[in-house]
Amino acid sequence: MHTQSGVMINPWSSAQYFDYEKLIKEFGIQRPDNYFDYFMFRRHLIFGQRGIDYLEYSIKNKIKFNAMTGLMPSGKMHLGNKLTIDQIIYFQSLGADVYIAVADLESYATRGISFDKARNIAINEYIANYISMGLKPCRIYFQSENYDTQSLSFVLSNETNMSELKSIYGLTDSSSILHVNAPIIQAADVLHTQLGHLGGPRATIVPVGIDQDPHIRLMRDIAKRLRVYNVKIEDNKISIYIKGSDDPADKINSAISVLGNSGYECMPNYEYRAIYVKNSTGEDKIKIDMMLAIEESRINDYAFIEPSATFQKLETGLKGGKMSSSVPDSLISLNDTGEEATRKIKHAVTGGKQTIEEQKKYGGNPDICPVFELYKYHNSNDKYVTRVYEECKGGVRMCGPCKIEAAENISGMLKTLAEKKDESLGKLDDYLIKRSS
C-alpha cells in the first residue's frame, strides 16, 4: 500500500481507481508521448508510464527488447484481463521477445489452488485465448517450475528490507510472509528475462494497471541497486559512478574504452570512483546506460536495466465499479458464449438518461458508460468508436440499440475465439517452456 497526500495505491485491493490525473501528479507517473501509433495510446487508455523512453530508444535503434506480463490462474479470463495481452501482442509485433509468468505459486498460497488445477485454468482460460487473439510463439512458464525465477528471488530478497516493504505495502508485524515474498517473486519474474542466457540486459516493458505501481517501483529500485555503473545526469552532462569498495581502475578503464569506441570523450577520477563524459548531454543517458549494462554483464550477472511500465485504465464492470469474478454479471469471460455475453450487456448500467425523450434532448454520457467502454476498449477502428461517442452525446443513439450493437460486436469476437480454441490448444508446445533446473 503506497499512500501520498491522501491517495492510496494497494496492489491487493479490489478498489477501482478513477482519478488518474491525481495519480499522475501524486506519484510522479509520466505521461506517454506520441511515439506509439496504437489505439490504446491514441485514446489515452494507457494514461501513464515509467521508463518507456528506454523502450522507444530500443525500437528506434533496432535493439532487442522484452515484453513481460503474468497471469493469476484462479479464475476466468475476462475483457479487463484482455487489455494487457492486447498490449503484449502489439509490442510483440514491434519485435519484443515475450515472457508470460503463470503465478501458480501465488495462487496456491493465496487461494489454495493446486498446481494441477492452476495449470488447467491457465491453459484453458488464458493461454488458449492468448494464442487465439494472435499471440505468436513466446516463453510462457509456471513459477513453480522455473528455477531462474526462484533462485533470483532469493538474490533480490537481499536488496530490500522489512522497513522498505512496510513503507511501500503497508505491511505490519502481523502481515503474512506471503505478502513479503510476493513482491520479490514478481520482481524476479520481470528481471530474470535479462539474465545472460536469455539475452542479457535489455529494455523490458511491463503493461499493468495502476494498482501494480508499487511492484513496479520496487523492482526498478532493486534493479538500480544491483548495478555497478550508476549513470547520472549532472548539469546536463553524463557522470558515471562506480559502486563498491574495491579498486575501480579496471571498471573505469573498461567503461572508458566502450564509450570511446562510440565517440565519447571521458575524464576519469579514480579517487572518487567516477567518469565524466565531456561531449555528452542528458539525451545520451539511455544510450550510455544501455552500453554500460552490457559491458557490466561480463562481471555482474545482475546488470539489469530498470524495467519500464505502461499504466492502463481499468475497464469498468458492466454493473459499475471494477470488473470482478465475485460479481459474475459485471464481466464478460472470453469463454462466455455469445448468448451469455448478450444477456449481460442487455442488463448493464449505462450513461444514458432516464427516458428516451431526455436522451434525445440532452444526449447521453458515454464518458461514464460501461457499454461505451466495450467499443472504446475492444474496437481498434477510431472512426467507428468516435461515431458511437458523438451519436450518444448528440442524442441520436439510444441505449437499447447501442447495447444490441455492442453485444453483436463482442459476441462476434467470442465466437471467433471459440472457433480457434482447439487449434490454439494444439500449438501449446510452441509456447510453454519446460521445467528449468
CATH of the domain at 253: 3.30.70
Q: What is the enclosing helix (H) or strand (E) of 399?
A: helix 399-425
Within this chain, do residues 254 and 150 fall inside the same structural domain, yes or no?
Answer: no
Using 50, 70 and 90 to split pLDDT, how confident is the model at 4? Answer: very low
The 8-class DSSP code of residue 136 comes to: P
- To the nearest whole percent, how much of the chain has pLDDT over 90? 80
Residue 16: predicted pLDDT: 53
Q: Is residue 99 part of a domain?
A: yes
- CB within 8 Å of 149: residues ≥ 6 apart: 101, 141, 143, 185, 188, 189, 192
Q: How many residues does the chain have?
A: 437
The reported pLDDT for the residue numbered 73 is 95
Question: Torsions phi, psi of 97, nearest 5?
Answer: -85, 120
pLDDT at 44 over 50: yes
What distance separates the 2 farthest-apart alpha carbons in the chain? 80
> What pLDDT score does 170 carry?
83
Residue 12: band (very low, low, confident or very high) from pLDDT cuts 50, 70, 90:
very low
For 295-324, what is the mean pLDDT?
94
pLDDT band at 14 (very low <50, low <70, confident <90, very high): very low
State whether 8 and 154 are in the same domain: yes
Cα–Cα distance for residue pair 100/142, rounded to 1 Å:
9
The pLDDT confidence band at residue 436, using thresholds 50, 70 and 90, is low
What is the per-residue pLDDT for 194?
A: 98
The answer to which of 58-67, 173-182, 190-199 has the lowest mean pLDDT is 173-182
Mean pLDDT of the 49-76 span: 96
CA-to-CA dists, residue 260 to 37, 264, 405, angstroms: 35, 5, 61
Tell me, yes or no, whether 437 lies in a domain. Answer: no
Nearest residue to 95 via CA among 61, 68, 60, 59: 59
Based on the domain organization, do 335 and 415 belong to the same domain?
yes
> According to the model, what pLDDT value does residue 437 have?
47
Return the pLDDT at 17.
52
How many CA within 13 A on the CB side of residue 260?
Answer: 10
Q: Could you tell me if 71 and 180 lie in one domain?
A: yes
Q: Do 335 and 292 reside in the same domain of the chain?
A: no
Q: Please give the grid coordinates belonging to residue 263.
A: 565517440
- 316, 311, 312: which is closest to 366 by C-alpha? 316
> Do the Cβ atoms of 315 and 83 come closer than 8 Å?
yes
58, 191: one domain:
yes
CATH number of 414's domain: 1.10.240.10
What are 307's three cell numbers? 524495467
**Could you tell me the residue range of the domain that residue 255 belongs to?**
229-296
The percent of residues above 70 in pLDDT, for the chain, comes to 95
Instruction: Indicate the burial class of 121 (C-beta count within 10 angstroms; 0-12, 13-18, 19 or more).
Output: buried
Residue 169 sits in a domain whose CATH number is: 3.40.50.620
